Amino acid sequence: MISENSLNGYVKHYIEKDYTKTAIMITGEWGCGKSYYIEKVLTPFLTEQGHEVLVVSLYGIEDLFALSRSIYMEARFSKLKATFEKRKIHLFKNSAEKVNAGKIVASNVAKNVAKNVFNFDIDVSDKALKGLYSSVNLSGKLLVLEDLERSNIDILKVLGFVNNLVEQDQVKVLLVANESELLNIKTPSPVDIDAIVEAMFQEQKEKKEQQSEKMIDESVVKYIEAKEKTIGDTVQFQLSQEVAISSIVELFNNSILTEIFNDGLQDYIKSIVQSICKRNLRIFIFGTQKAVDVFERIPYDKGQKDFYKCIWISAIYFSVRIRTTSDSKWSDENILSTKLGCNDYPLPRFLYDYILNQTFEPESVKEAMDTYRNYRLYENAHNNISDKDYNTLCEYYLHEDVEVRTALDNIAKKLQNVEVFPITIYGKLAYYAIVAGNIVKHDISDLEKAMKANMESFAKDIENIDDVFLRHYEIHDTDVLKQYLSLVDGLKESFYGAKKVDSFSYKPEDIDFMHDDAYKNKNKYVTNHRFISNYKIEKIAGMLLSSSAEQIHNFRGALLCIYRDVWISSFDEVDISALKLLKKLVKDGLCNAERIDNIKKKQLGWLCEDIDEILSEK
């Protein structure tokens, strides 16, 4: 892999001392950092050496005249930029804006400034522009043509155009492309032109024997022939990961990002870019951008540095997921998701909502921070367990069936003493017991019963256990997943049943409590993406049918308080289903009721209309 300094020196030598009258090419996979290198490394270097660089993207350009116009505009506006700088006039908002022909032509602001300040009209005719283009002096400059594979012009015409530039006008041209895509070669490895040429000769050799078979597509053959005439050297590009990552972090100029990056994250981030992002810097930049957006909206607590690392790293993991798979939906009620982030750095729900929906609730950050802190405590507790049977279970994939079965039975016996295993490891214990139990085909009902029984003891001293049951690994087998979720629900039911947290008696007079609770804790319910599903819908429907008109009115107020100003799609599917079920049960109750007060009937009808309106807000 050629270094940035070596590549800079090579291009400088090409501009100053190359007399072959050919262009040069940099090729590499999408997202490998080619554009970043041109803009942030090569252009500043050549500018310091006294060489002007004109960068034009071929993305979406339809014909050679449009390309000529883009080159002219870039050349013209490079002079305007210099004049602006001398006069201290700021045409663009910040230095990160890349000035290229496409953006300039599309910008009415730029047109007006050019016309009013310099008496130069961009909206000229094609004929006039041809005359203007012929006046452009490109000698001593480097013309960079990017996104060769994204052009709508036939590649052979582009190469012919470039050939005229380098041969007739002696212009120095650097082509930037993803040659694999240009040739429509789907391969993870770089394009080996020499191998293709060799295959061409082999094809010619065997042509007489196999006239009906073609080893190489005809368009590829023509491309290679045109390339040999037009392009001298081709450099396979791969930006140094360390340099690229450090430069990107520096580019964001965010103090939180810089601090956590320098706090031992360099190697971890590098491994993510290589193995998770597959060296695609665009995905890395996208995820980092989302993390920085959040950092700029929240205060920095140095004591929770790991949480800020979690925001950044989980944003990168989730960015990869949404770019590479359709399975990016939040699937449970947890505040953190190891499935959408990773085991060490699960994705917070507020970050999921921001990345996908651009909605941000500052109140939800504190809850996620507390949950993540507990999550790390549970992880540490798991790592510190020295029980032989528990460790055998967690490393079931290293043992024989009989050893795993013995470990499961021993754990079930040890659970008879509630003090043997802390509640902090019950989430992982449930996971490994279900997964390993299914693999070795062992009955774990005794273990499950013992865990549920212990929940009642834990309930005396602990307020909440939801964080204990964050699923740490994906379970792909749907039957095994159902068993795991069923066990978790049973454990939670035992815990919260013992605490008697569900004090709602489903009597009409309790509606006032629900109404007040909805207004008092609206942000909590919206952040958790659940409200009505916290109740038993069948009992809610029965309660409403025996309530007064005023109580039904207050119940409607509670629903509208929670759901009126938000998109229903932001709530979990279980909540949406609960609303649909409530409407059905109320309607069925109205149909089956022998006698019901007309005002109450009207209120219940309005309730059903309210639910319809809520569900329509997609």
User: What would the pLDDT profile of 318-359 be if each residue is shown by its tens digit?
Assistant: 999 998 887 788 876 678 888 899 888 999 999 999 999 999
pLDDT tier, 118 (very low <50, low <70, confident <90, very high otherwise): very low
Query: In this predicted structure, what is the pLDDT of residue 382?
Result: 66
Residue 316 has pLDDT above 90, yes or no: yes
Taking the CB of residue 577, how many other CB atoms lie within 10 A of it?
13
Q: Is the pLDDT of residue 80 over 70?
A: no
**pLDDT greater at residue 71 or residue 399:** 399
- Work out the burial of residue 48: count CB atoms within 10 Å of its CB; fewer than 13 is exposed, 13-18 middle, 19 or more buried: exposed
User: Each residue of 547-581: pLDDT tens digit?
Assistant: 999 999 999 999 999 998 888 888 888 889 999 99
What is the per-residue pLDDT for 569?
86
Name the range with the highest mean pLDDT among 68-72, 217-221, 603-607.
Answer: 603-607
> Which stretches of 335-382 are assigned E, i.e. beta strand?
336-337, 347-348
Average pLDDT score over residue span 16-36: 85
347-348 vs 336-337, strand pairing mode: antiparallel
Least confident of 31-45, 406-420, 597-611: 31-45
- CA distances to 140, 141, 507, 606 from 49, rounded to whole Å, are 11, 11, 82, 75
pLDDT, tens digit, for every residue of 123-151? 445 555 555 555 567 777 899 999 888 88
Residue 424, pLDDT above cutoff 90: no
The pLDDT, as a whole number, for residue 130 is 52
User: Per CATH, the architecture of 4-236 is what?
Assistant: 3-Layer(aba) Sandwich (3.40)
- Report pLDDT for 108: 39
Sign of CA dihedral 323, 325, 329, 334: negative
Total residues belonging to the chain = 618
Q: What percent of the chain has pLDDT over 90?
A: 35
pLDDT tens-digit map of 489-508 = 888 877 766 554 446 788 99
pLDDT at residue 221, rounded to an integer: 82
Which helix (H) or strand (E) segment is 144 a member of?
Answer: strand 142-146
Q: Is the per-residue pLDDT at 175 higher than 90? A: yes
Half-sphere exposure (CA, 13 Å, Cβ side) for 502?
A: 13
Domain ranges of the chain: 4-236, 241-364, 385-499, 508-616
Instruction: Indicate the Cα dihedral angle 131, 70, 175, 57, nearest 10°.
Output: -170
Angstrom distance (rounded) from CA 121 to CA 115 = 5
Per-residue pLDDT averaged across 242-267, rounded?
89
Could you report the per-residue pLDDT of 176-185, keeping only the tens digit for each? 988 878 776 4
Q: Which tokens hold the place of 248? A: 């990107």
How far apart CA 364 and CA 346 sit, in angstroms, is: 15
Of 1 and 271, the one with more pLDDT: 271
- Mean of pLDDT over the chain: 81
pLDDT of 214 strictly over 60: no
Model confidence pLDDT, tens digit, residues 523-548: 878 876 888 987 889 999 999 999 99
Model confidence over 277-291: pLDDT tens digits?
887 888 999 999 999
The pLDDT confidence band at residue 93, using thresholds 50, 70 and 90, is: very low
Please report, rounded to a whole number, the percentage of residues in the chain having pLDDT higher than 70. 80
Q: Tell me: pLDDT of 111 over 60.
A: no
Statement: residue 41 has pLDDT above 60: yes
Point out the least confidently predicted range of 121-125, 133-137, 216-220, 383-387.
Answer: 121-125
The CA distances from residue 602 to 12, 44, 557, 590, 596, in Å, are: 82, 73, 15, 10, 10
